[in-house]
Amino acid sequence: MENNSGIKKIALLTGGGDCPGLNAVIRAITKTAKNLYGWEVVGFRNGYKGLYEGDIVTLDEKSISGTLHRGGTILYSSNKTNLFKYPVEEDGKIVYKDYSDVGVKNIKDAGIDAVFIIGGDGTLTSARDFARKGVNIIAVPKTIDNDLASTDTTFGFTTAVDVATEALDRLHTTAQSHHRIMVLEVMGRYAGWIALHAGVGGGADAILIPEIPYDINIVAEKINKRKAAGKNFSIIVVGEGAKPKDGEVVVRDIVADSPDPIRLGGIGIKVASDLEQICGNEARATILGHLQRGGSPSATDRVLSTRYGVAAAELANSGKFGNMVTLTGDKMSYESLESVIGQKSKLVNPEGELAQAARAIGITFGDR
């Protein structure tokens, strides 16, 4: 395939939280850029911080060798740096200034023709803003939560589900041995995709997700019915954004200088404590946390990440800048960053096929 874009040099940047498959995307873009188009490839290290500091590293066959199966990102990341709202100290106070022109200048000074930005909402919002300033941007969506409305599936999601499912397998044996209620809290923020898929795949008795506020007494009723049938243990999966009816989400922390300051966490401990009081069984909570985001990506995510990377390079070669690569059905496509940013999150449909399948096999969502 010919170089039809006039591009000679591209840069890659990863921002926000790490995610299984990031290195596979970096590898795919780099390989496609070199094999098909003959482009020079570099990367900005540490996300937008590296763009601000001009921290550039060469990406070639040597640097990407052996990265397909590696978790994390070889370019590193920053989930706080926003060049459009950069914190600086003046007269003993922190004020925020727009230093995006520094990033634009560093791109131009390095002779970079296009920048590939891989990240989630905050990272891609800045990507859109750089596109508005005339930078040739190609975006690749990244989140294990699978909650982006513009694409059917995001890389990293199946790995997170696999990790959570394996955790449930392990919790089953200890729960059964000690007649305990075992609660597994998983990531996902305000979307219950990880909890739903892992709960069905891991044989949970109850799945509590943000989209379906739960009644703890209904969950307890499920546990007591199992006890009456001679099953003296139960497995509960809880999405971190789940909340009781007439209740609120559990906030673990607030990080004031982050683009996404609210940190959820702790609902699993609350659910375990409530169920222990009602049902009488010992209850234990496991918060899976960053284990879902670390380690090697699944084979499915390696393939999907490769497809995203190749499609991103093809998009740039076609000159279709200011767009984000998407997966629609079984085909790679794209959508304008202007339309992507600000979209409502893709949430679990409580009446959807998978949720109904879960109910059909006896899983409760704590609502009825």
Pure H helices in 213-256 = 216-228
Q: For residues 305 and 302, what is the distance between their CA atoms, to the nearest angstrom? A: 5
Instruction: Specify which residues 285 forms β-bridges with.
Output: 183
Per the annotation, the verdict on 145 as an active-site residue is yes
| Lateral strand order in the sheet of 9-14 | 56-58, 40-44, 9-14, 114-119, 137-141, 323-328, 331-336
Which pLDDT does position 1 carry in this prediction?
A: 60
Which pLDDT does position 248 carry in this prediction?
A: 87
Place of tokens 């800048």: 321
- Distance of CA 283 to CAs 222, 229, 306, Å? 15, 19, 42
Which pLDDT does position 17 carry in this prediction?
A: 87
Residue pLDDT, tens place only, 108-142: 999 999 999 999 988 999 999 999 999 999 999 99
- Phi first, then psi: what are they for 344, rounded to 5°? -70, 150
> Residue 109, class by beta-carbon neighbours within 10 Å (0-12 exposed, 13-18 middle, 19+ buried)?
exposed
Write down the pTM of the prediction: 0.94
SS3 of 230, please? coil
> In which element (H, E) is residue 160 found?
helix 157-178
Which pLDDT does position 79 carry in this prediction?
A: 79
Q: For residues 343 and 151, what is the distance between their CA atoms, to the nearest angstrom? A: 11
Question: How confident is the prediction along the chain (368 residues), in pLDDT tens digits per residue?
Answer: 667 678 999 999 999 889 999 999 999 999 999 999 999 999 999 999 999 999 999 999 999 999 999 999 999 998 789 999 998 888 888 899 999 999 999 999 999 999 999 999 889 999 999 999 999 999 999 999 999 999 999 999 999 999 999 999 999 999 999 999 999 999 999 999 999 999 999 999 999 999 999 999 999 999 999 999 999 999 999 999 999 998 888 887 766 666 667 778 889 999 999 999 999 999 999 999 989 999 999 999 999 999 999 999 999 999 999 999 999 999 999 999 999 998 999 999 999 999 999 999 999 999 99
Domain 9-155+297-329, CATH among 3.90.1150.10, 1.10.3720.10, 1.10.10.10, 3.40.50.450: 3.40.50.450
Same fold for the pair 9-155+297-329 and 161-294+349-360: yes
Residue pLDDT, tens place only, 34-43: 999 999 999 9
Q: For residues 26 and 17, what is the distance between their CA atoms, to the nearest angstrom? A: 15
Sequence ranges of the domains in the chain: 9-155+297-329, 161-294+349-360
SS3 of 334, please? strand
SS3 of 352, please? coil
Which pLDDT does position 192 carry in this prediction?
A: 97
Q: Which one of 113, 121, 145, 147 is the catalytic residue?
A: 145
Question: Of 128, 130, 77, 124, whose CA–CA distance to 101 is shortest?
Answer: 130
The architecture of the domain spanning 161-294+349-360 is 3-Layer(aba) Sandwich (3.40)
